[in-house]
Structure formats: C-alpha cells, structure tokens
Structure 1
C-alpha cells in the first residue's frame, strides 16, 4: 500500500494557535493521521512476522489483498483505513506486538478492513478472519454473528450484488446492504445531517472507544432518533453562527460513539487512538450539542497537531490547577483543557447574541467564566517551564485570542455569577486535593 509523506505547515500551526484553523488546517491534520494509520498497519504486519505470531500469515495475506484492492478501488481502501476503530485496532495491536504482552489484539483482524473495502467496491474475494466472542466485526459496516460452534478462524466469502454484497461464513449467508439488520447481521447506522456530514453511530465495534467500561451498548431506535433530532438542531446552530467550527466538524468527525453519562451532567471526549470519533452521552438539546462539538473539535485538532509537532517537554511530575477538572493536571493536560475552553469561550462569544431570556443569561455566564479560566491557564502554562519553544509560541497566540475574546461586553450580573461558580469550583478542588496548591488563583484578569 502507498505511504507517502505528510507534514503540518507553519501556516496551519499559526491558524490553530489562534483557536481555529478551518478546512485547510484540518485537511493537513487528517492527512497526517491517515499516514499514521497506514504506518501502524504496516508495522502490525512486520511485528507479527518478527514475533512469529500465529496470525502473522493471515495479516500478511490481508495486507497483500488491501494492496491489490487499492489498485482497483483506492477510494474505498482509503475510506476504511481512516475509520477510527481501524486506527485504534492498529495502534493497540502494534503496541501489544512490540511489548510482547500477549493481549487479544490479533494482527489477523487486518482482514476485516479488506472485507469492508471489497464489499463497498463490489469486488469478490475470500478472507480468513479470527472470530471474537462468536462474531466478526467489519469496521464501519456492522457485526456478523456466527452460528454456535464456529471455529476460531473462518473464511468469509464476498459475493457482490446490485445492492451491496452477500457474505458467507461458517454456514451463515447474509446480504449486506448499506442499511438494515438481518438475522446474523447488525448494521452500523448513520445519521444524515447535511451533504458531506453523515456520521456513523458506532455502538458495536470493540475498538470504538478506549474506555470499554463507559462505552454504551447498541442504541435502541428511540434513542437513535433522539440523537438524530438533536444533531440536526446542533448543525443548524453551527451552520448559522459558527461556520468555521461547522466546517472543521464536517471534515473531521466521522463517528459518534455513545458512552455512559456521569451522575450529574453529560460526558463527551475524544481519544488519541480514534481520530475522527467524538464520544458522548445522550445529548439534551441542539445548542448544548453544538457547544460540545466546539469543545471536542479543539481536542481533536490539538491531539493531531501534537502527534506531528510536540509542544510540551517531557513530563517532570509537576501538577497544576485546572478550573474545569477535579484533579491536578500535568502540563500537557492543562494545554489540552485550555485549548478546548478557548473554543468554548469563542463559541459562547458568538452564540450569546442569539439566545433569549434565561438561555441568554446562561450563555453570558459561560462566556465570562470560560474565557477567564482559559486565559488564566495560559499564564500557568507559560510560567510552568513545561513548554518547548514551539509550545510557548502556540500558547502566547492562544492568549492573544483570549484577550480579544475578553473585549466582548458582558453584564455585571453574568460576570458575578461566573465568578461565584469559579470560586465554588476552586474551593471544592482545594478540599479534594489538600496536598496541592492552586498558585495564582483566584484569577481576576484579563
């Protein structure tokens, strides 16, 4: 398979440091992530062979099939290789092979992306794949549940038809079409939002999320419809008032993964392993989901950037107060949080003008609280000694954007409420972490 080369330009770094970046920036970051996935996949095949892993031969065969498919259906091979769960599988499997820890991450599972590419390209093939918990997951397509008594590895035969393909494995035959479940087959479902943005709701793949204990099982139809409704509402908000965020989300986010909600509030996250995935608990309403996207796209961008260009020095063990977390944070975690909340502050700077009554007041409180918090943390970062030269330049540019954000007028009632909430968080943090000092807090600028 082709590898090529990809970097991140100085122009993109500067645009990202300002808090946004837009289509050109996320295109560069996405290209770097695709290259990383391809290198990891090749690494899986090489390491499996070096370790004499039982699945090495099947992995090599699958790699060869992907290379052949790429000649005829390069777009479909590219599509499946950039799927977030494929990247997570490649990363975990490569690490386990390198460390020799003998986990269940099997290099022979590389055959699953090959099957997906063949189905989508309508190309006949036969692939031997390992069976996991009585099933075979085809990333981005769905899960094939085999009859009881299936062997540990089985052949899957792909026979194209006019609507998709017929799959045969271990005596089971199913027709796989773009949508719809059948006996022995559960299809991953997409949410059609707008042309070019139809994220998959991945509630099946074992590699869909790094924290298995919080991943939700398959959504029932009612919950899925609610997700679709809130996503439509969120997209209208983003498209109308946050064009750059909307473009970054459309070009970056391909998967939504349901996770359990905390005892209070909601949960959302991105992961280094699954670039392109946003994990979240059930959304409540469109504006809140739009703010979640504004938050999480910042994490996704910064994670991708720092894989290409480090901004921090090796962790020296120092920990700091973050006004959005209950625990003391290392410099890299502090950088991630401040960058995300820069995006949140900018979201509410734009959005509060379009809210009414209690929602408008709440929006101004959010703006006042998070712009002050993110600005203060940039000061902590610059004084920490934990940033390299590029990191100091990056954070200094973030700080300038937050100074501009601070110029947005906010009424005294909203400012006062924001300060009260910030003070409550700081007091609770000090009680929870008596061995740590929150230097420089409470903060009163900019």
Structure 2
C-alpha cells in the first residue's frame, strides 16, 4: 500500500481562500485523506504490536489479507479503506492503543478485509470478532450474530456471515444493508450511501435506522437540491459530488428546522436531519462542503495557533467559539453567502434569498475581522483569511433591497443581544 507526500500549490491555496476550489481541489483533498487513512491503518498494526495487544497477530494477518485483495481488486480495497466511518474507527483505535490498550480492538481490521473481499467478490474466509451481537462490515451493512467470533466467507457467487446471507443492498434475515440515494440533473449524478447503521458513522446526534417509508421523501428532496446546485452552482456541485459518498441521518432539532454536520474524522460523509425541501438541503450541502474542504486542507497546512482558551463571538452560534472553530464557521458561511448571492438571481421569493445573502455576508465579514485581530492565525492562516476577506469586501459593495437589508440587520442585532445576555460582551 503506497504513500505519497502532499503539497497544496499557492494557486490552489489562493483559490480555496476565496471559498472555491472546484473539482481539482476536491481531488487533491481526497488524496490527502486517503493517505491519512493508510497511515492510520499502518498505525493500528504497529500500535498493536508495540502495545503487546492480544489482537496484534490478528491485526497483522488482516493487513496481509487486505494487501492480497488489493493486488487483484484495488478499487474494492480503496472503497473500504476510504469509507468515512473507517477513518473514524482507525483514528479511535490508534488513540486507544496509545492511551488505553485494553479498550482497543485492533483485530477489527479483519472486518475491513472481509468487506473488501465481498465488494471484490474475491474468495476469502476469515474469522472476525463481533460486538454486542452484531458485526459491522463497513460500506455494506450489519449482520446480527450470537457468537463472539464468526467466520465471514466470500465467494464470486456471494457472501455469508456465519449462516447470515449478505445482500448487496437492502435487508435479509439477520442482515441490514445500506441503501442508496441517487439524483441526476444537468448531466451530473450524485450517489450517496445512507449510513444509518455504523456506530462510527459520525460523532453527532445521529438518528436511528431510517424507515423505508421516509426514503422517497429524502430522494425527492435530494433530486430538487441537486437540480438547484447543478443549474445555478456548478462549481459547488462538483465539490459536493467528489467530496461526499455517504449521508448520515441526524435527529431533528427540538425547535424544528434542519441541522447538518461534517466531521474531519469522517471525511466523505455529511450528516443532515430530514430535509424540509430541496432548497434547504442544497444550502446545507453548500455549507457543509466548505467544512469538508477546510478540514482536509488543515491536514497539511496549519492555519491557527494552539488554543489559548480565548473565545470569540460567532454570528451563527449561541456560544463563544475558539479561534479554530470560528475559522471553520467563517469559511462555511463564506460558502453560504456565495450560495445565496448566486441563488438570489434565480429565487422566486427574492426577499428571502436577498436577506440570507446580506445576513451571512455581513456576519462572515465581521467574523473575518475578528480572526485577523485575534493574534491566533499562523502566517498561512493570515494569508487564507485575507483571501476570504477580499471576497467578502467585494460582496459588501453589492446592493441589497432595503426590506431584505432591514430583515438581515434585525436578525443580526437580535442574535447579538441574546448572545450578550448569555455570555457578556464579545471579544473583538
């Protein structure tokens, strides 16, 4: 399994600082995340050996099985090793082997080898440890089993976990498979796996298994969102198509609306609660892909200094934020501002789009000023945030109808008032 060094060119860095990047940025960032997964994979094997873990031999054997499958079916191994929840599991296992080896389960690598073999339809028989009566096969699904260890058999004709038959997608007795959402518009297709099973799918308030009867609603919302994105936001659509392969349903917030999330340890997955409509989902995806880009970029370029416990006001949060989180939010809302800036040319309810553009353009500009004054940006971080500010400055000069501007200012003032009542005067 090969490794490579990664470098972001000055040209691409500048383009990303402006909020963009497009397909080329996502390809390079995905390659960075792939290398991270390979390093973590090797870290599990070496960490188990160094810690004298009882599962070290099984982990090493599973690594060799993965390498053997890769020789014949590299795409299948790639699909499993780069799967979002695998990144989270690898990271957690490496950390546990360093801090608390008794909790670590490095022999879980056998499940990765089994999943890769099944995807490749390659002959394989491997014994795998189960957990709480189930076996998770990343990117495929979950088998219900009673034994602590079970044999997974893969053949060109199909696969089994013990006596449980594995279905390519969907459910069978003892098996719950991952389902897909697909949307096509304007010559482009977005395919997302619905992962509502893997315990490492996202560190967020995840929902349980999505009922079959709710899937048509999700598919309709995704089709509408993808139509909007490909028609009016083609560069963003390219980023989303290359960034995300998994959607994880999140619990709906108590106060209604929609929540979404992206985590650096599960690159390739986006979490969303049930979308009320396609426009809301499109805006959420435009928001979250910014988080995905910045998280991957920061794997190779440090933009902020270590946390010194300073906390700052963010116009989109009710709590004070550390500088790294403020940068993440500002970059995400730079993308949101750009989304509404483009969308207001096409939106039938123009007042709403104009107000959203003004609200987040102005709020993000203030957050950029806070970042520049924080003293907690690295030289690269100052360059990056300066690029963000340059784009926002040009947008601040764009006229917004008076009713929309009044709406945006009222919401901003109301948010700041609530924040002051809860947290005191913000640091600026």
Same fold per superposition (TM over 0.5): yes
C-alpha spacing 1:216/1:416, structure 2 compared with 1 (3 Å)? same
Contact kept, 8 Å, 2:150 with 2:161, in 1: the verdict is: no
Counterpart of 2:108 in structure 1 is 109
CA RMSD of aligned residues (A): 1.3
**Residue 394 of structure 2 is aligned to residue 394 of structure 1:** no
Q: Does 1:271 align with 2:263?
A: yes
Rounded Cα–Cα distance in structure 2 between residues aligned with 1:219 and 1:257: 10
Query: Would you say the 8 A contact 2:164–2:173 is kept in 1?
Result: no
- Distance in 2 (CA, whole Å) between partners of 1:57 and 1:154 is 17
2:416 to 426, 435, 439: 426
**Deviation readout 1:199-258 (Å, 9 max, x if unpaired):** 1010000110113xx211100012122111101100000000000110000001111001
Residues 169-318 of structure 1 correspond to what in structure 2 (within 5 A)?
169=162, 172-174=163-165, 176-194=166-184, 196-211=189-204, 214-264=205-255, 265-318=257-310
1:426, distance to aligned residue in structure 2 (A): 0.3
Give 1:444's aligned residue: none
Q: Secondary structure at the match of 1:5?
A: coil
Residue 153 in structure 1 maps to residue 149 in structure 2: yes
State the Cα distance separating 1:196 from its structure 2 match: 4.9
Query: Contact 1:23/1:251 (CA < 8 Å) preserved in 2?
Result: yes
Secondary structure of residue in 1 paired with 2:316: coil
Structure 1 residue 159 displacement after superposition = 2.1
Q: Is the 8 A contact 2:354 2:404 kept in 1?
A: yes
Gaps of 5+ in 1: 441-446
SS in 2 for 1:155: strand
Work out the CA distance in 2 between the residues paired with 1:296 and 1:276: 11
- Within 5 Å, which residues of 2 pair with 1:84-163? 84-100=84-100, 102-103=102-103, 105-146=104-145, 148=146, 150=147, 152-161=148-157
1:196 and 1:414 mapped to 2: Cα distance? 34
Matched with 2:12 is: 12
Unaligned runs of 5+ in 2: none
Rounded Cα–Cα distance in structure 1 between residues aligned with 2:427 and 2:376: 16
Deviation at 1:44, TM superposition (A): 0.4
Structure 1 residue ranges (4+ consecutive) displaced by more than 4 angstroms after TM superposition: none
Question: Which of 193-202 and 60-69 deviates more?
Answer: 193-202
Partners in 2 of 1:407 and 1:334 — Cα distance? 24
The one-character-per-residue Cα deviations of 1:87-130 (angstroms, maximum 9, x if unpaired) are 11000000111112633x41111111211111121111111211
> Are residues 1:68 and 2:61 paired?
no
Q: State the match for 1:407 in structure 2.
A: 397
User: In 2, are the aligned partners of 1:7 and 1:32 still within 8 Å (CA)?
Assistant: no
User: TM-score if structure 1 supplies the norm length?
Assistant: 0.93
Return the alpha-carbon distance in structure 2 between the equivalents of residues 424 and 44 of structure 1: 49
